[in-house]
Amino acid sequence: MSPTRGLSLSSRVIASNGVVFLLGTAVLAFSPATVSRQPVISELVVLLVGLGIMIVANSFLVRVALTPLDRLVTQLDQVRSNEPLARVSDPGGGLAHRLSLAVNDLLDRIEAGQRQNAVSALAAQEAERSRIAQELHDGVGQSLTAVLLELGALSGPGHAPAEPALARLREGVRASLDEVRSVARHLRPHVLEDLGLRSALAALTNDLFTTGDVLVRRGILPGLPALPDDVELVVFRVAQEALTNVARHARARTVELALSTVGAQLVLVVADDGRGLPPGAAGTGLRGMHERAALIGARLHVGRRDGGGTVVELRVPLERP
């Protein structure tokens, strides 16, 4: 173990200087060199050479002590520009080793705090979605249902002259009621809570593509492993965003949804044969998918599909740290 291992940086520098000066004093004390009352050139040369040797030796010892810290500072400058935060390497011992451990521990705490804040924000967002969905269902939905029942009563016998107008009004209210229910389901997927991820994905594809001419192929592996609630929610939201983009923008004829396990990963794939992503696409939907994937340590890839179209692939580690 190094005798200076437990010393502070200032103590190490002082100790290095002390060793150099001690050695210089010992050399002058035990050497035959003397300095006359009126120094001559040769004596001044000896003193200058001794001073130069001490400076060089002191510089060497200080450099040895501080070089690991210089490397650590350089690494920190690089870490600061990386996203996500990288970890600094271990310089190998001494004060720089302890500093690298402290810095890495601090970075771990920062990332854990950021992840916890993001999870809390996601939970708050989902709670707000749930509240709005419940209000739409219990408030607006029930009001529209009551109006629909009243219109049905008015269209009975004795109201024949008003029947065409009432029929149009009834259809308008029914369409509004369906839209409110659709928005409520989009805001909060109760089927995910009640029946699980597999049924929620099936219901999602039915809601989005029932009325169109898009062919939907689903390949959901039976017997998926039990997943934490946050993982199920992220997988559902990524699939929801990807499928919604296909329904609204892709002009696709076929869309494929696959959910399976590959090794120690859960893999979600949504692929279509539509127009594909425009160059430099970076909308709020894509950013939201990447942010949600990062919350559970998953990797998300969104790109152009071979042969045309878009592919979205989410890989979720089943063994989470």
Write the pLDDT tens digit of every residue in 110-166.
777 767 776 666 666 666 666 676 666 666 667 677 777 766 766 666 555 566 767
Domain boundaries, the chain: 9-112, 192-321
Omega before 228 cis (within 30°)?
Answer: no
Is residue 189 pLDDT above 80, yes or no? no
Task: Please report which confidence band the pLDDT of residue 316 belongs to, taking 50, 70 and 90 as the band edges.
Answer: very high
What confidence category does residue 269 fall into, taking pLDDT thresholds of 50, 70 and 90? Answer: very high
**How much is the pLDDT for 259?**
95
- Map tokens 């559902």 to a residue: 236
pLDDT at 287: 83
41 CB burial (10 A radius; 0-12, 13-18, 19+): exposed
Q: Are 310 and 286 in contact (CB under 8 A)?
A: no
Q: Tell me the average pLDDT across 269-290.
A: 81
Average pLDDT over every residue of 82-93: 62
With cut-offs at 50, 70 and 90, classify the pLDDT of residue 1: very low
Helices (H), the chain: 9-30, 41-80, 94-135, 142-154, 163-187, 190-195, 197-209, 229-245, 284-295
Name the residue with higher pLDDT: 314 or 278. Answer: 314
Least confident of 189-193, 204-208, 269-273, 293-297: 189-193
pLDDT for position 258: 95
> Residue 182 above 90 pLDDT?
no
Look at 10-24, 146-160, 193-207 and tell me which has the smallest mean pLDDT.
146-160
- Tell me the average pLDDT of the chain: 76
- CATH level 2 (architecture), domain 192-321: 2-Layer Sandwich (3.30)
Q: How confident is the model at residue 310 (pLDDT cuts 50, 70, 90)?
A: very high
Q: Calculate helix-pair angle for 229-245, 94-135, nearest 10 degrees.
A: 70
If 0-12 CB within 10 Å is exposed, 13-18 middle and 19+ buried, where does residue 66 land? middle
Looking at the whole model, is its pTM more than 0.85?
Answer: no
Pick from 97-111, 134-148, 223-237 the range whose average pLDDT is largest: 223-237
Altogether, the residues listed in the chain come to a count of: 321
pLDDT exceeds 70 at position 280: no
Q: Classify residue 38 by burial, with Cβ atoms within 10 Å: 0-12, 13-18, 19+.
A: exposed
